[in-house]
């Protein structure tokens, strides 16, 4: 039986000596071609887990394996040629162009000082086309919209030619059109290129729609993991978010659809504005 593309075993994550763990005893796998959504309340450790999976934050316990190899034993360069992470960032003040930011993704293969080769340039061109950024490659990134910048961050990660793609809330602060565009692109990358994708999201219904499986973080641990039907239940979500929810079915897709339950007014009672 072949190893999954990404595996975390007994993972404990945290910051600073003497501070408590953010997460403990996390076990998860992600297969090639699969999208795993990370959900959980604010402060539940989604970004912390992504940083540990990307070999940016050393685990306090446990291991991270990529294609069966321990990422922390193989070294940073080895891991960064296989695992790419797109973190939330702010381009304000940057004088770089779209093309220059995306080219930085090739450093995982070329180092910081070696010149770009023809093959490196071909990878960048291909990524810019895939993310619909080719027409704006010479535009300074501080003049981009939020949706365009999210595509640039994703393109830089793809320029690494990774096997594992980690995305930290790629739909944050975007309107519905850009959210759907980003998630549809992520879905195609998993299906067409066989990437193992881990994406943290706040929107439970986006996870239900786009993810193959969901990992729900709460209370300092992995509270539940599985297909959307198994994780997005009123009982499990109520425990994680400490509020009542209603779980119904999407009328077109049949996937779980999560709605908040009002706590201070009766059904059908109009909302009173202050």
Please report the DSSP string for 55-97 in residue order. Answer: TSS--SEEEEEETTEEHHHH-HHHHHTTEEEE-----TT---B
Exposure string over 208-229, b if 16+ CB within 10 A, otherwise e: bbbbbbbbbbbebebbbbeebe
Amino acid 114: pLDDT: 73
Amino acid 263: pLDDT: 65
**d(C-alpha 49, C-alpha 56), whole Å:** 10
269, part of any domain = no
247, part of any domain = no
Amino acid 274: pLDDT: 45
Q: 53: domain CATH number? A: 3.40.50.300
Amino acid 273: pLDDT: 46
**d(C-alpha 222, C-alpha 241), whole Å:** 13
Helix 118-130 to helix 146-158 angle (10° resolution) is: 140
- Residues spanned by the domain of 170: 6-242
256, part of any domain = no
Nearest to 65 by CA among 4, 139, 109: 4
Q: Is 182 exposed, middle or buried (0-12, 13-18, 19+ CB in 10 A)?
A: buried
Q: Which two tokens stand for residue 14?
A: 């945290």
15, part of any domain = yes
254, part of any domain = no
Cα distance from N-terminal residue to C-terminal residue, the chain: 61
How many structural domains compose the chain?
1
Question: What distances in angstroms separate CA 11 from CA 59, 109, 143, one per listed residue?
Answer: 7, 28, 40
pLDDT in tens, 163-184: 999 999 998 888 888 899 889 9
For residues 83 and 162, the answer to whether their CB atoms sit within 8 Å is yes
Task: Give me the residues of the chain with pLDDT under 70, please.
Answer: 1, 92-93, 263-274
Amino acid 50: pLDDT: 97
Q: Which residues contact 108 (CB under 8 A, 6 or more apart)?
A: 77, 80, 81, 84, 160
Residue 101, SS3 per DSSP = helix
**Strands 221-226 and 69-70, bridge-based pairing:** unpaired
260, part of any domain = no
Residues in the chain: 274
274, part of any domain = no
């Amino acid at each position: 039986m072949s190893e999954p593309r990404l595996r975390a075993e007994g993972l404990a994550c945290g910051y600073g000596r003497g501070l408590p763990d953010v997460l403990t005893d996390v076990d998860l796998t992600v297969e090639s071609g699969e999208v795993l959504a990370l959900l959980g309340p604010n402060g539940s450790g989604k970004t912390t887990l992504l940083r540990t999976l990307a070999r940016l934050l050393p685990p306090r316990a446990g291991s991270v394996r990529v294609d069966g190899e321990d990422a922390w034993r193989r070294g940073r360069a080895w891991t960064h040629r296989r695992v790419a992470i797109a973190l939330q960032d702010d381009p304000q003040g940057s004088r770089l162009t779209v093309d220059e930011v995306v080219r930085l993704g090739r450093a995982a293969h070329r180092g910081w000082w070696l010149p770009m080769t023809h093959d490196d340039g071909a990878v960048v061109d291909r990524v810019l086309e895939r993310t619909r950024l080719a027409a704006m490659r010479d535009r300074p990134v501080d003049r981009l919209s939020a949706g365009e910048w999210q595509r640039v961050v994703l393109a830089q990660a793809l320029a690494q030619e990774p096997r594992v793609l980690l995305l930290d809330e790629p739909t944050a602060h975007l309107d519905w059109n850009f959210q759907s565009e980003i998630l549809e692109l992520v879905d195609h990358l998993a299906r067409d290129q066989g990437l193992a994708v881990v994406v943290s999201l706040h929107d439970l219904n986006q996870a239900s729609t786009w993810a193959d499986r969901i990992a729900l973080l709460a209370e300092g641990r992995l509270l539940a993991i599985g297909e959307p039907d198994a994780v997005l239940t009123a009982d499990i979500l109520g425990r994680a978010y400490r509020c009542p929810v209603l779980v119904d079915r999407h009328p077109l897709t049949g996937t779980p659809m999560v709605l908040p339950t009002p706590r201070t007014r009766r059904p059908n009672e109009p909302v009173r504005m202050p």
